[in-house]
Amino acid sequence: MHPLEVVNGIIDQDGKIISYSNKNIGIVTGLVSNCFVLDVDNLATLTKLEKMGDLPLTWRVRSNRGVHLYFKYNNTIPSTKLWDSIDILSDNKQVVAPPSIHPSGTVYQPSPTLSTHDRLLYLAYTYVLNLFAK
């Protein structure tokens, strides 16, 4: 399942969450949610990123095959395919969020090593720009 291009989120004009039972949750990325996501498609690529240097301490969600790293929105970082196995999901994109379930049965889960309650979204401008340069 790949993120869809979206214009509107899951909140109606009155601010109510549109709810459908047995459905997954998506977060609209970009300016509207003040975040973007580095969508790493497999664990081999995650290992490669870790060998390049310390990954920023930010929200991390285990996806079906890889991981989603959440960062504070920056309007100079566009939605794009960064590498074959990494996408940047920013304006007009969405990311599948916990506790959604992939068709394979994998549950999207936040990393147990990071507290989502205590962690601020990492300011990623320098980190992501360095990835563009590699």
Specify the higher pLDDT residue, 5 or 105: 105
CA distance 125 to 53: 15
Model-wide pTM > 0.85: no
Cβ(110)–Cβ(68) under 8 Å?
no
Is the pLDDT assigned to residue 130 strictly greater than 90? no
Specify the higher pLDDT residue, 49 or 133: 49
For the segment 63-114, what is each residue's pLDDT rounded down to a tens digit? 989 999 998 899 999 999 988 899 999 999 999 988 888 889 888 888 776 5
Q: In degrees rounded to 5, what are phi and psi of residue 58?
A: -150, 175
Write out the two tokens for 19. 């709810």
- Confidence (pLDDT) at 8: 42
Residue 35: CB atoms within 10 A of its CB come to 22
Cβ(128)–Cβ(88) under 8 Å?
yes
- Confidence (pLDDT) at 17: 58
Mean pLDDT of 14-31: 73
Cβ(45)–Cβ(83) under 8 Å?
yes
Residue 7's pLDDT band, with cuts at 50, 70 and 90, is very low
Mean pLDDT of 37-53: 91
Mean pLDDT of 23-48: 90
Whether residue 112 is preceded by a cis peptide bond, meaning omega within 30 degrees of 0, is: no
CA distance 31 to 44: 30
Mean pLDDT of 38-52: 91
- Confidence (pLDDT) at 57: 78
For the segment 105-126, what is each residue's pLDDT rounded down to a tens digit? 888 888 776 555 445 555 555 5
